[in-house]
């Protein structure tokens, strides 16, 4: 088992400052778990016996980010560190948040409020690990186990159930039997959790290295309480989704498009609205779904037209999705054409057209609808014949079209 954790200098300095002030302080939670696993922690959280005001008095730059829960943020060398006072969470009447939190001077009481044994380990460079629930042992067995009585813990905060599935997928861990049974029995409680939190956890699940843990989402009974249609479609897709997710880059729009692959564009729009996706991601998913229902472009004209509509980046992403879901050979052809079209600098859209509305009007085409229509026809011509993208040719053609 890991004997010690190498802390960044700044984290050591923070612990030292708190200790010098006469308080206990440990690193805790995700950073301890990830360090034991040999993974690079995303952030370093500190738990301390100092009350928030006492912590603030020790540091010059602090923010009250979550002071009602005892959390102070310290900025050191442009990095944020969260320092939280040892805390006991009160009753959870709403299944989401404790009604009240109270502070304690006992580290083990703080560890007791945490969700899983692997997340309830504290560490101090001079003292080593404080691990009252066997978190290190569980990590060594790749096991997610609730702290205390899992059913009670899920009833307190239903988000923990989805965190459980997400951690399984991020770490490739198994879920302990009793914890899994409690999850199944309490799955319906996920309805109490805000869509934003659900979205965030699902996002992490799809982007995780072990998307096969999607099986936990399906077998636990959580999904019907998140979204009925998603449950139906994912159940129908079953295991086929897993290698598809693994083949895609770790990108929210791409991975979500795979998850929503059997949704119509309209269904995806409704779903994204319900789960409060940001507009850009929702739009991208809908765009990919729309184009996935159309043939893969196989001629230079079709490729130019597509790249003109989507832009190069989204076209390349669409090719990735088509390669995963549809026809590898056809995508290979499309990619080769795109490479040539780009290398040749072919005109793809109105911006690249050697003609504009003002020049057309100067040449006598009446302002209004005719200008836009003419530009559209000229672009169509150039998409077929890139060498037609010359001012004289286009002007002549515009005037001819005008005479018709
Ligand atoms: P990540 O790598 O996703 O940040 P993490 O374990 O650090 O994982 P955070 O959400 O950053 O997760 O929370 C930090 C710590 O706070 C957790 O390790 C856990 O000890 C505790 N914690 C977070 N959310 C909950 C919760 N819903 N219930 C109980 N404890 C929680
Ligand atoms: Mg964290």
**Chain mean pLDDT for the chain:** 96
Query: Which atom of ligand 1 is found nearest the CA of 157?
Result: 27
> Residue 173: phi, psi to the nearest 5?
-95, 160
* Torsion of the alpha carbons at 47, 52, 53 and 56, rounded to the nearest 10: 60
Measured CA to CA in angstroms, residue 246 lies from 37, 208, 238 at distances of: 22, 9, 14
| Confidence band for 160, pLDDT divided at 50, 70 and 90 | very high
Q: Does the beta carbon of 323 lie inside 6 Å of ligand 1?
A: no
Q: What is the pLDDT of residue 140?
A: 98
Q: What is the pLDDT of residue 388?
A: 98
Q: Report d(CA 114, CA 253) in Å as an integer.
A: 32
Instruction: Tell how far the Cα of 237 is from the centroid of ligand 1, in angstroms.
Output: 31
Q: Report d(CA 64, CA 276) in Å as an integer.
A: 27
| 2: pLDDT strictly greater than 80 | no
Longest distance between any two alpha carbons in the chain, whole Å: 90
CB atoms within 10 A of CB 52: 21
Query: Which atom of ligand 1 is found nearest the CA of 204?
Result: 3
Atom 11 of ligand 1, residue of closest alpha carbon = 30
- Residues whose Cβ atom is located within 5 A of ion ligand 2: 30
- For the stretch 335-379, pLDDT in tens is 999 999 999 999 999 999 999 999 999 999 999 999 999 999 999
Q: Does the beta carbon of 179 lie inside 6 Å of ligand 1?
A: no
Tokens 């440990």 belong to 26
Q: What is the pLDDT of residue 66?
A: 86
Instruction: Determine contact, residues 288/264, Cβ cutoff 8 Å.
Output: no
Q: What is the pLDDT of residue 266?
A: 98
Instruction: Determine contact, residues 46/21, Cβ cutoff 8 Å.
Output: no
Atom 7 of ligand 1, residue of closest alpha carbon = 30
Tokens 């672009």 belong to 379
| Confidence band for 403, pLDDT divided at 50, 70 and 90 | confident
Write out the chain in H/E/C secondary structure: CCCCCCCCHHHHHHHHHHHHCCCCEEEECHHHHHHHCCCCCCCCEEEECCCHHHHHHHCCCEEEEEHHHCEEEEEECCEEEEEEECEEECCCCCCCCCCCEEECCCHHHHHHCCCEHHHCCEEECCCEEECCCCHHHHHHCCEECECCCHHHHHHHCCHHHHHHHHHHHHHCCEECHHHHHHHHHHHHHHHHCCHHHHHHHHHHHHCCCCHHHHHHHHHHCCHHHCCHHHHHHHHHHHHHHHHHHHHCCCCHHHHHHHHCCCCCHHHHHHHHHHCCCCHHHHHHHHHHHHHHCCCCCCCHHHHHHHHHHHCHHHHHHHHHHHHHHCCHHHHHHHHHHHHHHHHCCCCCCHHHCCCCHHHHHHCCCCCCHHHHHHHHHHHHHHHHCHHHCCHHHHHHHHHHHHHC
> Among residues of the chain, what percentage have pLDDT more than 70?
100
Tokens of 161: 């159930």
User: Average of pLDDT values for 193-220?
Assistant: 97
Beta strands 45-48; 79-85: pairing state: parallel
Atom 18 of ligand 1, residue of closest alpha carbon = 29
| Confidence band for 184, pLDDT divided at 50, 70 and 90 | very high
Measured CA to CA in angstroms, residue 93 lies from 90, 99, 139, 156 at distances of: 9, 7, 31, 8
Which of 96 and 299 is assigned the larger pLDDT? 299
Q: What is the pLDDT of residue 245?
A: 98
Q: Does the beta carbon of 115 lie inside 6 Å of ligand 1?
A: yes
Atom 10 of ligand 1, residue of closest alpha carbon = 30
Q: Model's pTM, two decimal places?
A: 0.94
Instruction: Tell how far the Cα of 47 is from the centroid of ligand 2, in angstroms.
Output: 13
Q: How many CA atoms lie within 13 A of 36 on its CB side?
A: 27
Q: Report d(CA 275, CA 272) in Å as an integer.
A: 5
Q: What is the pLDDT of residue 3?
A: 78
């Amino acid at each position: 088992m890991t004997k010690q954790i190498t802390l960044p200098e700044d984290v050591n300095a923070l612990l030292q400052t708190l200790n010098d002030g006469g308080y206990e302080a440990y690193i805790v939670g995700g950073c301890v778990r990830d360090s034991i696993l040999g993974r690079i922690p995303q952030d370093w959280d500190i738990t301390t016996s100092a009350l928030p005001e006492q912590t603030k008095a020790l540091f010059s730059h602090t923010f009250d980010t979550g002071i009602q829960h005892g959390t102070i943020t310290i900025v050191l060398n442009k990095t944020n560190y969260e320092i939280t006072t040892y805390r006991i969470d009160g009753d959870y009447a709403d299944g989401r948040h404790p009604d009240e939190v109270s502070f304690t001077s006992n580290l083990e009481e703080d560890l007791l409020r945490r969700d899983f044994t692997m997340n309830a380990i504290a560490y101090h460079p001079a003292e080593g690990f404080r691990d009252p629930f066997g978190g290190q042992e569980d990590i060594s067995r790749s096991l997610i186990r609730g702290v205390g009585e899992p059913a009670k813990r899920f009833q307190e905060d239903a988000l923990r159930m989805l965190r459980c599935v997400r951690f399984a997928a991020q770490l490739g861990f198994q879920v302990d039997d009793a914890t899994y049974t409690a999850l199944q029995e309490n799955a319906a409680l996920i309805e109490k959790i805000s869509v934003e939190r659900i979205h965030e956890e699902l996002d992490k699940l799809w982007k995780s290295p072990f998307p096969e843990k999607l099986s936990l989402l399906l077998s636990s009974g959580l999904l019907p309480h998140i979204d009925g249609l998603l449950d139906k479609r994912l159940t129908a897709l079953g295991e086929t989704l897993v290698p598809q997710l693994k083949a895609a880059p770790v990108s929210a729009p791409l991975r979500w498009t795979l998850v929503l692959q059997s949704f119509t564009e309209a269904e995806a729009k409704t779903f994204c609205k319900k789960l409060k996706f940001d507009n850009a991601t929702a739009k991208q998913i809908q765009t990919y779904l729309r184009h996935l229902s159309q043939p893969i472009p196989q001629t230079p004209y079709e490729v130019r037209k597509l790249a003109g509509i989507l832009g190069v980046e989204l076209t390349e992403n669409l090719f990735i999705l088509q390669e995963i879901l549809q026809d590898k050979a056809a995508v290979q052809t499309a990619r080769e054409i795109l490479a040539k079209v780009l290398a040749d600098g072919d005109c793809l859209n109105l911006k690249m057209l050697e003609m504009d509305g003002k020049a057309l009007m100067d040449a006598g085409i009446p302002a209004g609808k005719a200008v836009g229509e003419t530009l559209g026809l000229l672009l169509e011509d150039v998409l077929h014949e890139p060498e037609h993208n010359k001012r004289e040719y286009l002007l002549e053609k515009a005037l001819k079209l005008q005479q018709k």
